[in-house]
Chain A
């Protein structure tokens, strides 16, 4: 139940994101989810797309530094306290979260969360045991 996420190194300069989007657009890539982590002089663009292999090739061909990482995605009801419940379970098991982000869902009342942890196997176990619904790439943001 792991999802491929592409991480792209992005220099901190005007217009760079637009250029990257152009590369993806030209190759007909659909972005399912994205987030940017930034530091003073560079950023990391994280993308979940419909065709990882194609997107990765397009980015490499364009000269980008890009790599694929496995992340977990799960879905929760869009009500207050829902994420708190899940995070509490993860915390109880001492699982360190490296980063996470939420994704706009198309289904009313549903929120999708992408999470990257140090110990993926344990996290999947904890989530499944607690009845959290894991989702695969094609179900993300549906």
Chain B
């Protein structure tokens, strides 16, 4: 069994907690001094930095939400001066405004450490060719795994996403042995392999890290068979760091969280009470080593369960089960975070009367599909197909460019969409994501 950092990854729980307590109290002091919004929040809650001595004191602290990041857009939550920040990343926000995150050189190094652990978890070593087909850019996927591969001493192949034919040629010619990409992209590559006459025997692939979107056990099987590899789940979010906040080990029974850097809690999203170990609830993270953006009790909106039982791999860090949904209305479509509010404002920008709509999310042949259903009105209707098709096109292009994911625009007859007396149902998600772990 290979570990990247055995002393830390297999440390007794008591040692992990002691380390977390020490780092937490340091972080809180630093945050209170350097981040005005946190100082205000803590003052309002009547909590002083010296009140936070151990992990048990965590529950005294106020939560952080995406709204806090938006209110302090772009750099207002940073805890270091810009001279210390060496990189930023960004992800989509609820109103089109991006959520901006920053990293110091040390943050980048710790992120690389976490990503190297993830690669090591699945059997990676310096002999591997790590093919990174996540997008490189503001999205954390590409650069996050890239730095991890280099940290590991493996050979990073910065393929980025897209150009499927070339991806397959690189698999074959460059000897890619570990792939990192979204599961839906892996499925689409498998389909293209068949079309273009590639066989899995043409490749030296042995394992892959798949994340950035929900995926099913059926998809895991399909990827494992299609590419002839073992497929592992990896989790992360840019607000906390990026991919490899947690990652599965070879036993594929939940993702080990890097607990020396992040403290995980499960809360009831309504009462905000911390729930006992093993409960399902909203996942909350506190960064305890981050310098540039040390978020405290950040509400991920992901619904998950933490498992503290000892894992057969020997690692003692807590495992989180595959998220089972969201407590907000964020949708993850082909790896891209999409908020219905973004779609609504894009729609209203081209047609201010289109207030009644329905979003339908589905998964067809393992690929996410997004459809917006709109009712036709006499005023948008001439007598021809042309007018309506032009309307569909206009709506589609406005939404596509607002969310970065292709949407299908379907026109309905008037009064087809249900009118509700209370809060309108705007989204129907027909995808079902299940944990393999739950079925056991």
Q: Could you tell me which A residues sit within 8 Å of B by CB distance?
A: 5, 7, 9-11, 37, 39, 41-42, 44, 46, 63-67, 69, 98-99, 116
- Contact assessment for B376 and A9 in the assembled complex, using a CB-CB cutoff below 8 Å: yes
User: Beyond the given A46-B383, A65-B376, could you list 5 further A-B residue pairs with CB under 8 A, ordered by the A residue number?
Assistant: A7-B383, A9-B413, A44-B383, A44-B384, A67-B381
Query: In the complex the two chains form, what is the Cα distance from A84 to B173 in whole Å?
Result: 61
| Residue picked from A46, A64, A65, A99, most chain B C-beta under 10 Å | A65
Query: In the complex the two chains form, what is the Cα distance from A63 to B376 in whole Å?
Result: 11
B415 on the interface (CB 8 Å rule)?
Answer: yes
Residues of A within 8 A of B389 (CB): 39
- Contact assessment for B383 and A65 in the assembled complex, using a CB-CB cutoff below 8 Å: no
Q: Could you tell me which B residues sit within 8 Å of A by CB distance?
A: 376-378, 381-386, 388-389, 410-416
Closest to B412 in A: A11
Query: In the complex the two chains form, what is the Cα distance from A42 to B74 in whole Å?
Result: 44
Q: Given A42-B411, A64-B413, A65-B376, A7 and B388 touching (CB < 8 A)? A: no
Query: In the complex the two chains form, what is the Cα distance from A11 to B411 in whole Å?
Result: 8
Query: In the complex the two chains form, what is the Cα distance from A9 to B378 in whole Å?
Result: 9
Query: In the complex the two chains form, what is the Cα distance from A46 to B156 in whole Å?
Result: 61
Query: In the complex the two chains form, what is the Cα distance from A96 to B368 in whole Å?
Result: 41
A and B contact pairs by CB, cutoff 8 A, 30 listed = A7-B381, A7-B382, A7-B384, A9-B376, A9-B411, A9-B413, A10-B413, A11-B412, A11-B413, A37-B385, A41-B410, A41-B411, A42-B388, A42-B411, A44-B388, A46-B383, A64-B413, A65-B376, A65-B377, A65-B381, A65-B413, A65-B414, A66-B378, A67-B378, A67-B381, A67-B383, A69-B382, A98-B384, A98-B386, A116-B383
Q: In the complex, what's the smallest C-beta–C-beta distance from B374 to chain A, in angstroms?
A: 11
- Contact assessment for B414 and A63 in the assembled complex, using a CB-CB cutoff below 8 Å: yes
Residues of A within 8 A of B410 (CB): 41
Q: In the complex, what's the smallest C-beta–C-beta distance from B414 to chain A, in angstroms?
A: 5
Residues of A within 8 A of B381 (CB): 7, 9, 65, 67
Query: In the complex the two chains form, what is the Cα distance from A42 to B381 in whole Å?
Result: 13
Q: Given A9-B411, A64-B414, A37 and B384 touching (CB < 8 A)? A: yes
Residues of A within 8 A of B414 (CB): 63-65
Residues of B within 8 A of A69 (CB): 382-383
- Contact assessment for B382 and A67 in the assembled complex, using a CB-CB cutoff below 8 Å: yes
Q: Given A66-B378, A67-B378, A39 and B385 touching (CB < 8 A)? A: yes
Query: In the complex the two chains form, what is the Cα distance from A46 to B385 in whole Å?
Result: 11
Residues of A within 8 A of B377 (CB): 65
Residues of A within 8 A of B386 (CB): 98
| Residue picked from A9, A10, A41, A67, most chain B C-beta under 10 Å | A9
Query: In the complex the two chains form, what is the Cα distance from A116 to B403 in whole Å?
Result: 39
- Contact assessment for A9 and B385 in the assembled complex, using a CB-CB cutoff below 8 Å: no
Q: In the complex, what's the smallest C-beta–C-beta distance from A47 to chain B, in angstroms?
A: 11
Query: In the complex the two chains form, what is the Cα distance from A70 to B415 in whole Å?
Result: 27
Residues of A within 8 A of B411 (CB): 9, 11, 41-42
Query: In the complex the two chains form, what is the Cα distance from A116 to B384 in whole Å?
Result: 10
Closest to B375 in A: A65
- The 8 nearest A-B residue pairs measured at CB: A69-B383, A7-B383, A65-B376, A63-B415, A9-B376, A37-B385, A11-B413, A65-B381
Q: In the complex, what's the smallest C-beta–C-beta distance from A56 to chain B, in angstroms?
A: 10
| Residue picked from A5, A42, A67, most chain B C-beta under 10 Å | A42
Closest to B416 in A: A11
Closest to A66 in B: B378
Closest to B411 in A: A42
- Contact assessment for B378 and A65 in the assembled complex, using a CB-CB cutoff below 8 Å: yes
Query: In the complex the two chains form, what is the Cα distance from A7 to B384 in whole Å?
Result: 8
Closest to A65 in B: B376
Residues of B within 8 A of A46 (CB): 383
Q: In the complex, what's the smallest C-beta–C-beta distance from A33 to chain B, in angstroms?
A: 14
Q: In the complex, what's the smallest C-beta–C-beta distance from B277 to chain A, in angstroms?
A: 49
Q: In the complex, what's the smallest C-beta–C-beta distance from B29 to chain A, in angstroms?
A: 60
Query: In the complex the two chains form, what is the Cα distance from A38 to B412 in whole Å?
Result: 14
Q: In the complex, what's the smallest C-beta–C-beta distance from B386 to chain A, in angstroms?
A: 8
Query: In the complex the two chains form, what is the Cα distance from A66 to B377 in whole Å?
Result: 9
Query: In the complex the two chains form, what is the Cα distance from A84 to B413 in whole Å?
Result: 38
Q: In the complex, what's the smallest C-beta–C-beta distance from B267 to chain A, in angstroms?
A: 43
Query: In the complex the two chains form, what is the Cα distance from A5 to B383 in whole Å?
Result: 9
Residues of B within 8 A of A98 (CB): 384, 386
Q: In the complex, what's the smallest C-beta–C-beta distance from B98 to chain A, in angstroms?
A: 33
Q: In the complex, what's the smallest C-beta–C-beta distance from A66 to chain B, in angstroms?
A: 7
Residues of A within 8 A of B415 (CB): 63
